[in-house]
Chain A
Amino acid sequence: MEYFVQLFLGGLTRGSIYALIALGYTMVYGIVELINFAHGEIYMIGAFTALIIASVLGLYGFSEISIIILASIIAIIYSSAYGYTVEKIAYKPLRHAPRLSPLISAIGMSIFLQNYVLLAQTSDFLPFPSLIPEFEFMNPYSHIFSSAELVIFCTTAVAMTLLTIIIKFTKVGIAMRATAQDRTMAMLSGVNVNKIISTTFVIGSSLAAVGGLLIASHIGQINFYIGFIVGIKAFTAAVLGGIGSIPGAVLGGFILGWTESFATGYISSDYEDVFAFALLVLILIFRPAGIMGKSRVQKV
């Protein structure tokens, strides 16, 4: 039973990270109907920025808590700037092009960013300092749920709540939903659609940066390639839940996290990805639009 709980909580942590990144995919898809393949790279850049800032601040002898806060803030700002720029350079000029063009552009952007970090940094795995402190009150439970996992889960929960509030109640959120439903009409209602699309990329990138920082700190090492596999997994989570749907992305993330966790725990870690993608195939056979997705008539 304890083993089950451990796997369950492990899956929850893993799933919350997937969900955090899947939100970026799903939001961008909801608004511009584009799969932003460079999103995983934004996550990787977030992790690298945090590493660099943490190392520099560590040299200057900053306290642990100030390092965490500063590293996350700078990682968020830096990743957002990348997300914003990627949209302006690779997607905006292609907004009225056939659907395949921005997709290719996205893949190109992803490869570009990977190689850019590879050249600017290194191809080796770099050790990532454990930024998350060990809480004493967690000690009795540390064999099933570590402090780091607790922090990851709580942070993602807060981020998702914040996002829900933004989308549901604020002016920007309402404009985002309007843009997703009818872009021309949103413009005619006075919404600056370009700004809203940029904002969407910035919000998605911030979430990815938070994810990058948390997972890198948890696993303890990063390299230029980490964005690719996490990106694919988060994309899977988004499709699983129904791409374009925000609650769907969160649900998809958790389902994927649990599947991997239980498959690893009860069968073998070699089968982790096999089960993750087998689940995707199964769900898409029975619900092609994803769990919470609505099958829509193709827009003309």
Chain B
Amino acid sequence: MNKILETINLTMDFGGLRAIDGLDLHVNEGEIVALIGPNGAGKTTFFNCITGISPPTKGEIFLTTRRKDRDKIDGLKPNYITKKGMARTFQNIRLFPNMTALENIMVGQHCRTSSRLIGAIFRNAFTVNEEKLVVENSFHILNRFGLGPYTNEYAKNLPYGAQKRLEIARAMATRPFLLLLDEPAAGLNNRETAELNVMIKSIRDEDKVSILLIEHDMKLVMSISDRIVVLNYGRKIADASPEDIKSDPAVITAYLGEEFVA
């Protein structure tokens, strides 16, 4: 198995607080990995760390791209990391509120196109052609995620479920090989969660995109994940298949307290 994401001894300090403590974590090609843990365990901090929003205090992060280049990405700016092929969503939705659904998707494709301002002013054939492709591609992505009816709606006016889907669609528009989802099921009802389950699997199977997700909905986590990593106080306390995680004493202690360990 190819490790497409690998962190070695990743550590993140905020002043005196160690949010992530020597974390070794990896995602294999084609895997769906869930990252779980109590609140404040450092899950979102981990996402911020590897996507370049807040570079780690210590440790290394490697991405192995589809072309099998193993790149060290710690310290790179978020846009370069996205360009290498890792995209993410947020727990509290972060769309561009005053732009339409279509435009949100177009922003996602920014790093995959090469036309420039000069071309945009003088309308050379290359730019015109590329702009056409981007729009066509955007329609395709919108329809795929069931957002066709909202194409020209402002993102802020979309219903909650559609906003969540649009955020995933925008991340997919950057053409990642690894998608990070931060609580994709938060706030969704049962039917929407079931749809999300299908959507995540189709992203893995049809687009060949590996997935690392943070999620609190255990039903979803257990049914979807190939592997579960459990964090507590910034440390990895378990890394196993869903079945093994259920009976892991360290995990039960972290979640429920020592007295529940059988």
Residue numbers of A with Cβ under 8 A of B are 162, 166, 169-175, 177-178, 181-182, 184-193, 199, 202-203
Q: Is the CB of A178 within 8 A of B96?
A: yes
- Between A and B, 27 residue pairs with Cβ closer than 8 Å are A170-B117, A171-B110, A171-B113, A174-B106, A174-B107, A175-B110, A177-B103, A178-B96, A178-B103, A181-B98, A184-B53, A184-B78, A185-B90, A185-B96, A186-B107, A187-B52, A188-B53, A188-B87, A188-B88, A189-B82, A189-B108, A189-B170, A190-B79, A190-B110, A190-B111, A193-B79, A199-B117
- Whether the Cβ atoms of A181 and B99 lie closer than 8 Å is yes
Q: A185-B95, A191-B110 are in contact. List 18 more A-B contacts (CB 8 A).
A: A162-B121, A170-B131, A171-B115, A174-B107, A178-B103, A184-B53, A184-B94, A185-B90, A186-B96, A187-B79, A188-B79, A189-B108, A189-B174, A190-B79, A190-B83, A190-B111, A191-B111, A192-B79
Name the residue on A nearest B114 (C-beta): A171
The residue in chain A whose Cβ has the minimal distance to the Cβ of B86 is A188
The answer for the CA separation of A184 and B82 in the assembled complex, in Å, is: 12
Q: Are B78 and A187 in contact (CB under 8 A)?
A: yes
- With a cutoff of 8 Å between Cβ atoms, the chain B residues found around residue A166 in the complex are 117, 120-121
Residues of B within 8 A of A187 (CB): 52, 77-79, 82
Report A63 CB to chain B, min CB distance, Å.
Answer: 24
Alpha-carbon gap, A202 to B117, bound state (A): 10
The 5 closest A-B pairs by CB, nearest first: A190-B111, A170-B120, A187-B78, A190-B82, A178-B107
CB neighbours (8 Å) of A199 from chain B are 117
Contact of B96 among A162, A169, A177, A193 (CB under 8 A): A177
Min distance, Cβ B2 to any Cβ of chain A, angstroms:
23
**How many residues from B make CB contacts under 8 Å with A?**
37
B30-75 with Cβ < 8 A to chain A: 51-53
A171 to B133, CA, bound (A): 12
Contact present for A191 and B117 (CB under 8 Å): no
On whether the beta carbons of A172 and B96 are closer than 8 Å, the reply is: no
Pairwise interchain contact B116-A172, C-beta atoms closer than 8 A: yes
A189 vs B94: C-alpha distance in the bound complex, in angstroms?
Answer: 11
Residue ID in chain A nearest B84 by CB atoms: A190
Known contacts A171-B106, A171-B134; is A177 also within 8 Å of B98 by CB? yes
Residue of B with least CB distance to A168: B103
A169 to B116, CA, bound (A): 13
Q: Which of A172, A174, A182 sits near B103, CB closer than 8 Å?
A: A174
Chain A residues whose C-beta falls within 8 Å of the C-beta of B106 in the assembled complex: 171, 174
B220-240, CB under 8 A of A: which get 1 and which 0? 000000000000000000000
Which residue of B has the minimal Cβ distance to A169?
B131
A237 CB, nearest partner CB in chain B, Å: 23
How distant is A98 from chain B, measured CB to nearest CB, in Å?
19
Distance in angstroms between the alpha carbons of A162 and B87 in the assembled complex: 33
- Is B146's CB within 8 Å of the partner chain A? no
CB pair B83–A182 under 8 Å, yes or no, is: no
Rounded to whole angstroms, the CA-CA distance of A188 and B131 in the bound complex is 21
Contact of B99 among A174, A188, A192 (CB under 8 A): A174
Q: Is the CB of B82 within 8 A of A181?
A: no
| Interface 0/1 of B112-131, CB less than 8 Å to A | 11011100110000000011
| Docked pose: A202 CA to B108 CA in angstroms | 24
A169, A189, A199: most-surrounded residue (chain B CB, <10 A): A189
Whether B97 is near chain A, meaning CB under 8 Å from some CB there, is yes
Complexed CA–CA distance, A185 and B130 (Å): 23
Do the beta carbons of A188 and B51 come within 8 Å of each other? Answer: yes
**What B residues does A202 contact at CB under 8 A?**
117
Chain B min CB distance to A106 (Å): 24
Chain B residues whose CB sits within 8 angstroms of the CB of A169 once the complex forms: 131
Q: Distance in Å from the Cβ of B205 to the closest Cβ of chain A? A: 24
Q: Give the chain B neighbours of A177 by CB distance below 8 A.
A: 96, 98-99, 103
Chain A residues positioned under 8 Å from B90 (CB to CB): 185
Q: Are A188 and B78 in contact (CB under 8 A)?
A: yes
Report which of A171, A184, A188 forms a contact with B120, defined as CB distance below 8 A: A171
Q: Which residue of B lies closest to A202 (CB)?
A: B117
